[in-house]
């Protein structure tokens, strides 16, 4: 496979899966790369997906934000390290489990905001009157230990941008 990346999706989470596939195809097209979509909704399917990724020799793997995939993060990270596939995700837990990096919403801030809104509703405010908020705080985590294990050198300029570097 000439330059290309893969996206791991849970096909049972159709809204996220469709969005990820559409966005990944657009990004790949813009870069002149190929994209491989792999689907998994069980442990066995995750193992099978990595067999496909190894066969296709993808340059990197993006894991879709999905509860099932997040719950299988250790399995996914271990397989990615085993096959030396740089793994990226929006959930920091995947980077903590051994993925290469994550960039996404700071979930604690999201939970805090949810608590504030819950309090406002419980005090009598109409939920329909509350503004829709978008995430404003994001975090970039790099797992330097994983980079070393799979033979990647992370440029110092990229390390300097990280909110957290896992040694």
Domain ranges of the chain: 4-166
For residues 139-165, give the mean pLDDT.
96
Residue 8 makes CB contacts below 8 A (sequence gap 6+) with 38, 39, 40, 46, 49, 61, 62, 63, 64, 69, 76
pLDDT at residue 139 tops 80: yes
Written as six digits, the tokens of 121 are: 């509703």
CATH for 4-166?
Answer: 3.40.50.2300
pLDDT band at 69 (very low <50, low <70, confident <90, very high): very high
Written as six digits, the tokens of 164 are: 């957290």
Residue pair 62/95 in contact (Cβ under 8 Å)? The answer is no
Q: What is the dihedral of CA 87, 98, 100, 65, to 10 degrees?
A: 50
Cα–Cα dist 30/32, whole Å: 6
Q: Pick from 113, 109, 87: which is nearest to 163 by CA?
A: 109
pLDDT at residue 129 tops 70: yes
pLDDT band at 105 (very low <50, low <70, confident <90, very high): confident
**Higher-pLDDT residue of 161, 16:** 161
* Residues above pLDDT 90, as percent of the chain: 77
pLDDT for residue 84: 95
Written as six digits, the tokens of 6 are: 């893969």
pLDDT band at 77 (very low <50, low <70, confident <90, very high): very high
For residues 17-38, give the mean pLDDT.
92
Question: In sequence order, what DSSP letters do the residues of 74-125 get, joined into one string?
Answer: HHHHHHHHHTT--EEESSHHHHHHT-SEEEEE-HHHHHHHHHHHHHHHHTT-
pLDDT at residue 1 tops 70: no
Is the model's pTM score more than 0.75?
A: yes
């Amino acid at each position: 496979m000439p330059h290309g990346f893969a996206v791991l999706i849970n096909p049972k989470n159709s809204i996220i899966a469709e969005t990820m596939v559409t966005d990944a195809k657009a990004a790949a097209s813009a870069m002149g790369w190929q994209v491989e979509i792999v689907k998994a909704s069980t442990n066995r399917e995750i193992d099978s997906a990595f067999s496909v990724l190894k066969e296709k020799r993808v340059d990197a793997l993006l894991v879709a934000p999905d509860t099932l995939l997040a719950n299988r993060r250790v399995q996914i990270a271990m397989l990615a390290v085993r096959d030396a596939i740089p793994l990226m995700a929006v959930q920091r837990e995947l980077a903590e489990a051994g993925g290469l990096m994550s960039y996404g919403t700071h979930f604690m801030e999201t939970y805090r905001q949810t608590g504030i809104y819950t309090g406002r509703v419980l005090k009598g405010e109409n939920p329909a009157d509350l503004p829709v908020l978008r995430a404003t705080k994001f975090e970039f985590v790099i797992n330097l230990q994983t980079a070393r294990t799979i033979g990647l050198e992370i440029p110092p300029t990229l390390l300097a941008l990280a909110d957290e570097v896992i040694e």
